[in-house]
Structure 1
Amino acid sequence: MKTLPWLCAALLAGVSATAISVPKQASAEDTLTVISWGGAYQESQRKAFMEPYAKETGAKINEGEYNGEIAKIRAMVESKSVTWDVVDVDTQTALAACAEGTLETIDWAKLGLDRSKFIGGDIADCAVPNILYSTVIAYDTTKLKPGPTKITDLFDMQKFPGKRALQKSPFVNLEWALIADGVPMADIYKVLNTPEGVDRAFKKLDTIKKDVVWWESGAQPPQLLADGQVAIASDWNGRFFDAVKKDKKPFQIVWDGQAPDYDWWAMPKGTPNLDAAYKFIAWSSQPGPMAEQTKYISYGPANKDAGPNISAEVLKDLPTAPDNMKNVLYVDPQFWADNGDQLRERFNAWLSK
């Protein structure tokens, strides 16, 4: 993920915007189904992309939500019953689904977009990067005084007692466990690539397992924090941002050990509305709409030309702000694409013990 640090530089440098052509105009006959992750994130997409696009073009957009399961996309494609046209996927899903032929290969010429303008545009051939988000931890400042300041504090039950809310997935949790167990950030995936390293990560997770509330939807952690059910929670940074800005929650994000990743627009192989899907992705990937999304959620747009359209007030809350990038865990998406199924199986077996 060596391209990730470039997003900060691209946004803060104020890259000059350039016009990008869009495929032929969408029409009222265009109907497509767009699937995303729900909650504050999908609300930001609705306000910045879905609603303005439908209003401008007359196209009809049906929305749906999912939890990122590649299995759902795979089942549709294998049964030749694809009903989703555009899906928001994370990087490991983009890479794995592309490798197995589950997603359409992106024709950038058909999109009318300059691939080099997109941070991470060279990572996957079957998806178009749309945002950079980060998995972080946060706490309620009225309940933890002082609060945690580093990712290792997540595992310090003595200094910071109370339940933890963690995603019901090995993703990032295994990396954080190794960091807390003393593995240098630069060696995380070297260690995790060994059976002994995986055992070591699970052994560290064992130390807090009885105190973890496992979440499956990004809307859950802010609510668990607000209700006092947990002392520290992990989530995508935009969910905590939304709770602070919109709901005035006294939450503090701990940026130490943040794990940035991309989300992407992808099209399941065999979608019957391929042309309409291309038009929507092309429109949504323009600098203007991408910058507009940052007004509703604190994720960094992948299109470099969106930078000049983002205010300094918004920039400071993005994962890519310099003050937030001091100790970053750069997730290795290829590792998760190659090992994700096996590690999820191991994780689920561990949970059931």
Structure 2
Amino acid sequence: MSRSLRCNIACALALLSTSVLAAPQSLTVISFGGATKQAQDKAYFQPFNASGAGSIVAGEYNGELSKIKAMVAAGHTSWDVVEVESPELLRGCEEGLFEKLDQTALGDPADFVPGALTECGVATYVWSMVLAYDQSKLAKAPKSWADFWNVADYPGKRGLRKGAKYTLEIALLADGVKAQDLYKVLNTPQGVARAFAKLDQIKPNIQWWEAGAQPAQWLVAGDVAMSAAYNGRIASAQKEGMKLSIVWPQSLYDPEFWAVVKGTPNKALAEQFIAFASQPQAQKVFSENIPYGPVHRKTLALLPAAVQEQLPTAEANLAEARAVDAEFWVDHGEELEQRFNAWAAR
């Protein structure tokens, strides 16, 4: 073999080796889809890809832990980072479904809202379950969940999420329970019975939704007069010109978290992605695309006043809101969801 041919082969192998080494490591990130995922793509996935740190493979699911449990049990983890609600984070952490995170790699806790950095997760945004309505279809604006129950003055169907969580809280708020006493009451058999009795009052008027996009669609179509809804979905509809309004008092707010699936071989890159997505500039882009509240304290100052006013973390919107009690739903979620399903089926 000639020296030049040997050189050409060696050079080609060297270039191939370099290109393989330079190929960004892929990271599978699973979230809830819809408008939220679109905002995550603009704020986090595309910029992370552009940074050269890794290549995001984005997927979606409905929040159930069953698939994650199956992966961990089988010892074959194909998901790296997942978006989870706060009760699922606590439950998954207790059951060993999520990796314990290196807090030093994620930032200074003082820069984040309280509770954002936990043993197994990092909060990514704060959302609210709100009362929403189409202002063009009602003679007067509702002001509370009590008005939601008032089918005499506000005739029509009511949209509620098909599940115990949030629905039972809403029922008790409609029945006059103060926000600060909500879980104290719901933590008793009498309180649970009271919530279901309140739901009985409007059961014929309820139209159950299971996808976050449904409330806005139903409101615009006139299928429901009012609906419980995720604030970001209503804001997205407003951006598209739909005349929908939000009632912030008595809203229920909760953070969503990033968690790293137990057994992933990409834990270090997963933590790098979460740290990247937790920076003020990245969170600014996210909140500009969907008005969920940022968890990094320095983000709000970067946002226009008009955007800040739509966020669950805006001071005025938090004033009469109530945080969802994640520990309550970890302790009682299974039994209450079973009871709810049996009640809804009757």
Identical-pair percentage: 43
Would the aligned equivalents of 1:151 and 1:254 in 2 still touch at CA under 8 Å? no
What residue ranges of structure 2 are gaps of 5+ in the alignment? 1-20
Give the structure 2 partner of residue 325 of structure 1.
318
Q: Which amino acid aligns with 1:346?
A: R
Alignment partner of 2:26 out of 27, 31, 40? 31
Q: Which has the higher helix share?
A: 2
Q: Which amino acid aligns with 1:129?
A: A
Give the structure 2 partner of residue 160 of structure 1.
154
Q: Which amino acid aligns with 1:177?
A: A
Give the structure 2 partner of residue 83 of structure 1.
78
Alignment partner of 2:291 out of 276, 298, 301? 298
Residue 123 of structure 1 and its aligned partner are, at CA, apart by 6.6
Structure 1 CA distance for aligned equivalents of residues 272 and 52 of structure 2: 10
Would the aligned equivalents of 2:144 and 2:174 in 1 still touch at CA under 8 Å? no
**Secondary structure at 1:269 match in 2:** coil
Alignment partner of 1:349 out of 309, 319, 342? 342
Q: Which has the larger radius of gyration?
A: 2
The CA deviation string for residues 168-207 of structure 1, in whole angstroms up to 9 with x for no partner, is 1111111111121222222211111111211111111111
**Secondary structure at 2:299 match in 1:** helix
Is the alpha carbon distance of 1:27 and 1:117 closer, same or farther for their aligned partners in structure 2, counting shifts above 3 Å? Answer: farther
Is the alpha carbon distance of 1:197 and 1:311 closer, same or farther for their aligned partners in structure 2, counting shifts above 3 Å? Answer: same
Compare 316-325 and 274-283 and name the one that shifted more. 316-325
Alignment of structure 1 residues 13-92 onto 2, 5 Å: 28-57=23-52, 59-92=54-87
Structure 1 CA distance for aligned equivalents of residues 294 and 205 of structure 2: 35
Structure 2 CA distance for aligned equivalents of residues 248 and 288 of structure 1: 27
Is the alpha carbon distance of 1:290 and 1:81 closer, same or farther for their aligned partners in structure 2, counting shifts above 3 Å? Answer: same
Would the aligned equivalents of 2:24 and 2:52 in 1 still touch at CA under 8 Å? no
**Are 1:175 and 2:172 an aligned pair?**
no
Alignment of structure 1 residues 279-298 onto 2, 5 Å: 279-298=272-291
Alignment of structure 1 residues 106-255 onto 2, 5 Å: 106-109=101-104, 111-121=105-115, 124-245=118-239, 247-255=240-248
Structure 2 CA distance for aligned equivalents of residues 185 and 29 of structure 1: 48
Would the aligned equivalents of 2:124 and 2:258 in 1 still touch at CA under 8 Å? yes
Structure 2 CA distance for aligned equivalents of residues 255 and 327 of structure 1: 8
**Secondary structure at 1:169 match in 2:** coil
Would the aligned equivalents of 1:93 and 1:337 in 2 still touch at CA under 8 Å? yes
Q: Which amino acid aligns with 2:50?
A: K
Would the aligned equivalents of 1:85 and 1:273 in 2 still touch at CA under 8 Å? yes
Residue 313 of structure 1 and its aligned partner are, at CA, apart by 1.9
Give the structure 1 partner of residue 271 of structure 2.
278
The CA deviation string for residues 133-181 of structure 1, in whole angstroms up to 9 with x for no partner, is 1110100111112121112211111111111111111111111111212
Structure 2 CA distance for aligned equivalents of residues 345 and 237 of structure 1: 27
Give the structure 2 partner of residue 17 of structure 1.
none
Structure 2 CA distance for aligned equivalents of residues 45 and 216 of structure 1: 21
TM-score of the two chains, using structure 2 as the length reference: 0.90
Structure 2 CA distance for aligned equivalents of residues 187 and 126 of structure 1: 29
Give the structure 1 partner of residue 303 of structure 2.
310
Compare 139-148 and 181-190 and name the one that shifted more. 181-190
What residue ranges of structure 1 are gaps of 5+ in the alignment? 1-25
Aligned residues: 326
Is the alpha carbon distance of 1:53 and 1:235 closer, same or farther for their aligned partners in structure 2, counting shifts above 3 Å? Answer: same
The CA deviation string for residues 308-351 of structure 1, in whole angstroms up to 9 with x for no partner, is 21221211111122332332122211111111111111111111
The CA deviation string for residues 15-50 of structure 1, in whole angstroms up to 9 with x for no partner, is xxxxxxxxxxx9633101111111111111111000
Would the aligned equivalents of 1:27 and 1:58 in 2 still touch at CA under 8 Å? no
Would the aligned equivalents of 2:32 and 2:62 in 1 still touch at CA under 8 Å? yes
Residue 122 of structure 1 and its aligned partner are, at CA, apart by 6.0
Would the aligned equivalents of 2:117 and 2:123 in 1 still touch at CA under 8 Å? no
Structure 2 CA distance for aligned equivalents of residues 165 and 41 of structure 1: 21
Would the aligned equivalents of 2:131 and 2:248 in 1 still touch at CA under 8 Å? yes
**Secondary structure at 1:295 match in 2:** helix
The CA deviation string for residues 254-288 of structure 1, in whole angstroms up to 9 with x for no partner, is 11211011011111111232222112111111111
Would the aligned equivalents of 2:300 and 2:308 in 1 still touch at CA under 8 Å? no
